[in-house]
Structure 1
Amino acid sequence: MPDPRKVVGGYFLSLDGVAEAPDRFLTGWDEETDASGKRLIETQDEVILGRRTYDEWAGFWPTSDIEPFASFINATPKYVATSTPLEPEWSNSQVIEGDLFDFVRNLKSQPGGDIGIHGSISLTRSLLTAGLIDELRLVVIPTIAGTGQQLLADLPPIHLETLHSTTTPTGHLLIDYRVVH
């Protein structure tokens, strides 16, 4: 029997844990950071998004040439946690019907690759609290943002196990964690 699918959250974080608007604190770029992003999305074949992220991204990614993420996110099936119709429409997107946690459990039980979560901070917190996220893949930027929504704020105790970590030439700390359930 194949292993169950994993839900994997991928985020850029400032040193003080801010994940909101990473373009404000993302400094430098290097081939190792780029390669880690490619490895992350290569394993994912579906994505779960929160409504705010959907609204922001549906206006940006369909016409973006930032590769390889633009091709990935535009082609990949996207499930959106919302109770309202998706406007504007974005290819391969649909509203999650019913209970979010039941939906994610069901999705994890189906065959396929990893299920990604990107940019959806509140959704990630909810799924972490419910024990439905299996891994976090973080790029920690050596900058203190000072303000903004922190990814891991206001969560119950959650034990993580380091799977891999490295520092890139520009000082980004790449850390992959497994959530210990």
Structure 2
Amino acid sequence: MAVAEGEQRDRISKRLIARLRESTELPNLGATPDFTHEIPYPKGLAERSQAVGKGIYETLGIDRKDTAARFSFLERNYEFFGAPTALFFFTHRGLDQFGTLDLGLFMENVMLAANAKGLGTCAQGYLGGHPDIIRSEFEVSDDYALVCGMSIGYPSEHPINGWHAERLPITDLLLSPKDR
């Protein structure tokens, strides 16, 4: 994990925003992540992703057709939503999905520990899109891949902090046994 604060955080933010502004081509917006995923998302996941986006933009009062406001919100990702600290999470390339699993567990514990101290966190996949910028600020072995980032600070009263994505019912997550 790499921690950016102060001038380093600001440098990273400026470079990420500049990259975003240079390439407004969807779907990657100039990103060259260490990890990739299927674009567009597979059926079922795409609908859930779209529902999350719709919920966020509705909470923010941003119309789907207002591309300037949507782009401005994307920039807020790279401003770490005003948080003073940005964390960047890496996993060893040789560990494949197991390293990512371990990283997810570690991130959850960071989030729980921060919450216990009155801090808010926001895990951000967007922050994993430009490993070259992050690597230029930290000593990171080529054996490690940037997965994502997280903003951390005291939460504001902004309406978005009260919004939560709809969770699937537990029955949708459980696998049914085979009939024998």
Q: Which has the larger radius of gyration?
A: 2
**Does TM, normalized by the shorter one, top 0.5?**
no
Tell me the TM-score normalized by structure 1: 0.26
Looking at secondary structure, tell me which structure has more strand per residue.
Answer: 1
Q: Using CA pairs below 8 Å that are at least 6 residues apart, which structure has the higher relative contact order?
A: 1
